[in-house]
Structure 1
Amino acid sequence: MGGDNNFSNTTQDNVLQEQVDEHKAAKGKLFGTFDGVFTPTLLTILGVIMYLREGWIVGNAGLLGAWLIILISCSITFLTGLSLSSITTNIRIGAGGAFSIISQSLGLEVGGSIGIPLYLAQALAVAMYIFGFRTGWLWIFPDHPAILIDLGTFAALFIVAYISASLAFRVQYVIMAIIAGSLISIFWTLYSVPAQQPIMWWGTFPGSPENMFTGIGFWALFAVFFPAATGIMAGANMSGELKNPRKSIPLGTMSAIVLSTVIYLLLAYWLIRSATPDELVSNYTIMIDRAAWTPIVVAGLLGATFSSALSSIVGAPRILQALGDHRILPKSNWFSTRTQTGEPRNSIVFTGAIVLIALMLRDLNSIAPLITMFFLLAYAMINVVVFMEQSLNLVSFRPLFRIPRAVSFLGATGCLFVMFTINSTFSLIAVVVVVSIHSVLLRKHLKAPFGDVRSGLFVALAEGAAKKVNELTVSRERAWRANILVPVEDPQELRGMFNLIRDVSYPKGFIKILGLTGKVEDKELYTRLPDITRSFQDEGVFSSWTIIDVPSFEDNLIAGMEALAGSFFRPNIILLTPPLSEQREEDTRILVQKALQNGIGVVIYAAHPKSGLGRHKSINLWINDKSPDWEISMDLGNMDLAILIGYKLKRKWTASMNLITAVGDEDQKRKAGEYIKTLAELARLPNVNTYALEGTIEGILPEVPQAALNIFNLTAEPDFEFIRKMVELTGSSCLFTLDSGEENALA
């Protein structure tokens, strides 16, 4: 029976799940594949780059070069789309698109660290699309004030988004019809106008008018085009308002990616056929000039930028609302509020404010690459999530749409490659921002209403590491840390030992609390041990608990100790208290022998009834008699565990330490003194005092400093009378230690 089953937060989890899902019942229209995913995704992908920059790219790279750029760009989004499709057929995706997917696999902290910058990128992208719309508008009406165009466009976008997503999608139908008309007007000339010249298959990469045609590289062209392939999350962002996201997101997203790729490839062929390379690189509006009907292409350019802005201003508030649902942001309740029809109006208003501020800045070119980086990080994480789920082979990962593991791996590496190809500086900045947000969210101790695969990941890593450790034939002395097994019959007994146990195991050890039935009711153990475990964890020490139900104390403890001794992460110390009866003394002697057989060190903590551990100001460490030679060797003879525990407590308490030994005669004092000083140096015990005194331990006690804790050796056949006597004579609490053989204070 173990401590992994903790039901204390079940009610809280249920309440949070209800809060996350409560909008389902209040929703108005739920969207299908075509209107909810395909349309916004396609319209976000087909944007201003298609109309104003694809011709320039073809003129520089030639047809094959342009096709290569298009195929590399679209293959990365295609791979990401496959990963997105796979994961959405495996989970019950909630609101927030990529945020929901990442959170359900890697936890709210990772999901939030991606979701927050993704939201900001989406909101700022609205302003950039508005600037693109303004460029097209000024091509038609050059005398119109730029600020009025921006504000008017923003007002139209905000009103449509504020009224409802349904209205936004109806507007997008009109825009899609206009873009379709513009493409028909462009391709019509394939039949009505003869080819202008032979096809240039590979370009000379002359550059652009802005750099006086001084040349440009292949990857620089790629960096310009790649944003045209993004936008694949536009439909996924609506995941919380789809009738069937498991069906709609894969079908709608992949259809949009494939269709847009075909359009880009055909346009490249049309461009190289319709104009000379010099015209393509010098005239950004060549597509408008050579179309069969110019006005519809201009309308398509305006519609493409407007629809991209509309998709973003509708999708971004849904991410913000999902972040609020999970209490990731300040004022989360306000952001998560929806109308009776399911519209996140508060989030829409906040997003509108961000867009308006960005518009007032008038120029976002300096941070445009950072916005692209945040999108790419989200894409990369989608691929990472799928790759990790596939690698773990957990039974919970059984998507209806399966893909090879190479797909998600290539998708993730492709996204990272593109990030650093486009702008390595902004890539590093984006990574730093995400890591910083993650570290902040970790401190919030977010509570998720769903499980994730982090535990499976960590278990897989831990098992792999443990197997490697078990394969090592060399000593593990340098890797020693205090992993303590604490038997508990009555949880009240731990009150006086809590700080000591914590300080010995801190920071890298662990504590395993072994509940023993018989002394108190089982219910009390099951109630109190999880609380004690959490208290240790709150103090920064990993802790877990389990309960053994065997008739006797001795059988209980031996069964638990032997079971844990065979585990991957086994305890190396068992902490006991002095027995209070002859029968318990006999049981303890047997336990000590069993511990040694299992390679577990023994520590008996004898607390002083009045002083306890005092103020933690000093520690006395008693060194064994090494007469007559007093020679240092790697085998310290049952002193290693005492030295290691003494050192850990000295550091944790910032206490002074005294190394003390009793010698039989005056002749031994000098040798003993040199031995202790050499031992302190070799064991790397800084700032310690040494005492070599003539007499017995009992006889020299008046001559040694008073300490909060005295540490003595424990023999394999414990002398319990000596233990009780030392507590009385020292007037302090005492530790008695017995090495397991795996410790080495000189390592």
Structure 2
Amino acid sequence: MFLRMGFIVGQAGMLESLAMLVLAYAIIGFTVLSICAISTNGAIEGGGAYFMISRALGPEFGGSIGLMFFLANVASTALYIFGLVEAMLSFFGPEGQLVPNIFEHGKWWSYLYGSIILLVCLIVCVVGADIYAKTTFLIFVVVMVCIASIFISLHLKKNYYSLYHPVTIFLSLQFPCKTKYSSTYAHFTIDYTTSVPQNFIKVFAVLFNGCTGIMAGANMSGDLKNPSRSIPVGTISACIITFLVYMALIILISATTPRILLFCNYSFLLTINLWSPFVAIGVFASSLSAALSCLIGASRILYALARDDLFGMWGVTTSSGNPIVAVLFSWFLVQMTLFIGQVNTIAPIVTIFFLISYAATDLACLALEWASAPNFRPTFKLFTWHTCVLGFISCVVMMFLVQALYTSISVVVLIVLLIIIHYRVPTSSWGYISQALIFHQVRKYMLMLDVRKEHVKFWRPQILLMIKNPRTSCQLIRFINSIKKSGLYVLGNVTIGSLAEMSSDQLSPQYNHWLNLVDEIGVKAFVELTLSKSVREGTEHLLRISGLGGMKPNTLVLGFHD
């Protein structure tokens, strides 16, 4: 906000900047509703978005999306450190606006400054996230004071730019070419820091990065006393406050500052402030806090992945429960990312990673809603499947608009991760949303299958094959499978006895072995087992009660007596 709001208004103008802001918050607003719904549906453990997605969509989707979200936090940490270094050089560099010639300017100097800042963040993370959690309110107060100083300065300070007045906004809207306040409409030009021509999408990518902190509370779910309440209240409150602050800044900056200044000086807020160090303090506090939040979030996500045996090598913790190995690995990746060296270069990458995570969160909430899962009973009711669909579609569309190439690569990587995790991770005990969705759809279509509308033209064999000894009947099972012509195929077995005479049900342990047999032989068949006084009586029972609705056996097959 301190470093890029002038850039956004200068390039896009007031009207398109406000349109970008509304679009960005519409996208994250739908996702916020999904986050609130999932976070109020029972207990939330550490891992934030990864925990919510994995428990809804299963380990394959959860692990792949969780890893992408981990990379998003890593890249976002580097982004905030880039911004902090850029501000340091602007305030205290060779042409520093506060105190010049304290820091040297250059690519490797910037990398050194970024590495030192990252080392400070690492020390805080190693000592423990409790220190950061205890200072967040103080950081919040400092940042709000700095923001208030900007608003007061724009209202009160008469400088060589202009003085804010409501008439200024009216004139700039009605006669943008006849006043010196010409920041109403867009005028995209070259970014002086990267020499890259700008457009709506590139500027939107920069703006969107200022709105991607909605997962910060969810990422620290393991450190919250009552995450089911804290996450919705904190996330919604943060979105409303930041939206109002951004909107007010866009209007005031557009009405008071010449566009030429916005083009060539990203630190113009320092010049117009009543006390210039306020802006520097706000930049340092907000950037350092955001970098710490993302680094802590990245380490917690990686630790949650390791704890679920998806990436087990990062699950080592200290005696206090701090995931030290995950912290060190996250720090190493951020250190490598610092080689990129520019805020506007890494901004689209961070945006795509976050949009993938947001789309997955919307998809998880949508799947739970569509499956009508009985365990999905969130106390947060301000969402529907429509908001989930809109959030998912808007995230996917914006990913391709921001950077189609990076998005395509990310999707390919996501699919590869999904396949790898599917084959290397053992079956989890979380449950699979795919099974709930399949049940919901099968039940719906089974009710639509009306036996009164059957016709001889579409008759097909629906076979009940009675099996005594599966070890000697494999060939018979395969033969009947080849003649069923896509019809119902049921393998039946009768055990002589009575449940009243048994201490426990002997059929339940056998059922899984029969299913394993079906998988091993490779046939598409159901299994039905029953207890009866005779084989004949048991066969009659199975013939009558097997199947459901319009899918019931119409053909009985018995093997030769051996």
- Bin the TM-score by the shorter chain: 0.7 to 0.9
Code of the aligned partner of 1:497 = S
Cα distance, 1:484 vs. partner?
5.7
When residues 526 and 150 of structure 1 are mapped into structure 2, their CA distance, relative to the original with a 3 A threshold, is: same
Aligned with 1:429 (options 409, 417, 424): 409
Match of 1:401, SS?
A: coil
Aligned to 2:168: 198
Match of 2:125 among 161, 165, 184: 161
Aligned equivalent of 2:496, options 518, 521, 524: 518
User: Residues 62 and 449 of structure 1: is their aligned pair in 2 closer, same or farther, counting only changes over 3 Å?
Assistant: same
- Tell me if 1:377 matches 2:356: yes
Give CA-to-partner distance per residue, 1:415-451, whole Å, 9 cap, x none: 1222122122222222222222112222135333333
Residue among 122, 128, 131 paired with 2:73: 122
- SS, match of residue 379 in structure 2: coil
User: Is the CA contact 2:463–2:556 (under 8 Å) kept in the aligned structure 1?
Assistant: yes
Evaluate the alpha carbon distance shift between residue 404 and residue 154 of structure 1 in structure 2; reply closer, same or farther with a 3 A threshold: closer
Provide, for residues 655-689 of structure 1, a one-character-per-residue CA deviation record: whole Å limited to 9, x for no partner: xxxxxxxxxxxxxxxxxxxxxxxxxxxxxxxxxxx
Deviations 1:311-369 (A, max 9, x none): 0111111111111111112xx1x422322322111211221222223335656976653
Instruction: Identify if the C-alpha distance between structure 1 residues 257 and 505 changes in structure 2 by more than 3 Å, giving closer, same or farther.
Output: farther
Partner of 1:455: 435
Asked if 2 retains the 8 angstrom alpha-carbon contact of 1:175 and 1:300, the reply is: no
CA distance in 1, matches of 2:277, 2:343: 29
2:24 counterpart letter in structure 1: S
Is structure 2 residue 251 aligned with structure 1 residue 269?
A: yes
Q: Which has the higher contact order (CA 8 A, sep 6+)?
A: 2
Separation in structure 2 between the aligned mates of residue 277 and residue 257 of structure 1, nearest angstrom: 28
The one-letter code matched in structure 1 to 2:433 is: V
TM-score, normalising length: structure 2: 0.84
Query: What is the deviation of 1:77?
Result: 1.2
Question: Which residue of 2 is the match for residue 407 of structure 1?
Answer: 387
| Alpha-carbon distance between aligned partners in 2 of 1:236 and 1:348, rounded to the nearest angstrom | 18
Return the structure number with greater strand share.
Answer: 1
| 1:13-66 Cα deviation digits (max 9, x unpaired) | xxxxxxxxxxxxxxxxxxxxxxxxxxxxxxxxxxxxx12222232234443332
SS state at 2:318 partner: coil
Compared with structure 1, are the counterparts of its residues 576 and 504 closer, same or farther at alpha carbon in structure 2 (3 Å cutoff)?
closer
Partner of 1:735: none
**Measured at CA, do residues 74 and 180 of structure 1 come closer, stay the same or move farther in structure 2, by a change above 3 Å?**
same
Letter in 2 for 1:163: V
Measure, in 2, the Cα distance between the counterparts of 1:526 and 1:214. 67
Q: Output the CA distance in 1 between the equivalents of 2:45 and 2:87.
A: 37
**How many residues end up aligned between the 2 structures?**
523
Q: Is the Cα contact below 8 Å between 1:274 and 1:290 reproduced in 2?
A: no
How far off its partner does 1:225 sit? 1.4
Question: SS in structure 2 opposite 1:319?
Answer: helix
User: Which residue type is aligned with residue 119 of structure 1?
Assistant: F
RMSD (CA atoms): 3.2
CA distance in 2, matches of 1:459, 1:568: 16
CA-to-partner distance for each residue in 1:248-291, whole Å, 9 max, x for gaps? 11111111111111110111122123212333334322222222
- Taking the aligned partners of 1:509 and 1:337, their CA distance within structure 2 comes to 52
Residue 271 of structure 2 corresponds to which residue in structure 1? 289
Q: C-alpha offsets along residues 146-173 of structure 1, whole Å, 9 cap, x if unaligned?
A: 2321221111000001110011223444
Structure 1 residue 101: deviation in Å? 0.9
| Larger helix fraction of residues | 2
* Aligned position for 1:495: 471
Counterpart contact for 2:83–2:343, Cα < 8 Å: no
Residue 64 (1) aligns with residue 15 (2): yes
Say if 2:240 is the partner of 1:258.
yes
Aligned mates of 2:143, 2:217 — CA distance in 1: 19
Question: Retained in 2: the 8 A contact 1:321–1:344?
Answer: yes
Do residues 179 (structure 1) and 179 (structure 2) align?
no
Partner letter of residue 415 of structure 1? C
Q: Specify whether residues 216 and 345 from structure 1 end up closer, same or farther in structure 2 by C-alpha distance, changes over 3 A only.
A: closer
Name which of 282, 285, 296 aligns with 1:314.
296
Letter of the structure 2 residue corresponding to residue 513 of structure 1: L
Change (3 A) 1:446 1:421: same
- Taking only the aligned residue pairs, the percentage that are identical comes to 27
Q: 1:423 to 1:570 in 2, by over 3 A?
A: farther
Alignment match, 2:96? none
CA distance in 2, matches of 1:243, 1:159: 25
Residues 506-525 of structure 1: CA deviation (Å, up to 9, x unaligned): 99888643331207988654
TM-fit CA distance, 1:206: 1.5
Q: CA deviation at 1:118?
A: 1.1
| Aligned match for 2:373, one of 394, 408, 411 | 394
Report the AA paired with residue 313 of structure 1: L
Aligned counterpart, 2:47: 96
Larger radius of gyration: 1
Gaps of 5+ in 2: 94-102, 158-162, 174-182
* d(CA) in 1 for partners of 2:331, 2:255: 43
Residues 103 and 452, structure 1, Cα contact 8 Å, conserved in 2: no
Check conservation: 1:271, 1:287, Cα contact below 8 A: no
Contact 1:208 1:282 in 2 (8 A): no
Are residues 570 and 133 of structure 1, via their aligned partners in 2, closer, same or farther at CA, if it must alter by over 3 Å? farther
Query: Which residue of the partner structure matches residue 222 of structure 1?
Result: 204
Letter in 1 for 2:442: A
Q: TM-score, structure 1 length as denominator?
A: 0.64
Distance 1:539 1:116, change over 3 A: farther
Query: What is the Cα deviation at residue 460 of structure 1?
Result: 1.8
**In the alignment, is the contact (CA less than 8 A) between 1:97 and 1:239 conserved in 2?**
yes
Equivalent residues of 1:206, 1:216 under 8 A apart: no
With over 3 angstroms needed to count, the CA separation of the structure-2 counterparts of 1:148 and 1:495, relative to structure 1, is same
Cα distance in 2 for partners of 1:69, 1:264 equals: 11
Instruction: Say whether 1:210 aligns with 2:165.
Output: no
SS in structure 1 of the partner of residue 529 of structure 2: strand
**Quick one: distance in 2 between partners of 1:140 and 1:60?**
23
1:508–1:328 CA distance, 2 compared to 1 (3 A):
farther
Q: Structure 1 residue aligned with 2:217, among 215, 235, 241?
A: 235
Letter in 2 for 1:206: H
Structure 1: 5+ residue runs without aligned partners?
1-49, 581-747
Q: Distance in 1 between matches of 2:401 and 2:393?
A: 12
State how far apart, in whole Å, the 2-side matches of 1:51 and 1:497 are.
75
Residue identity matched to 1:501:
I
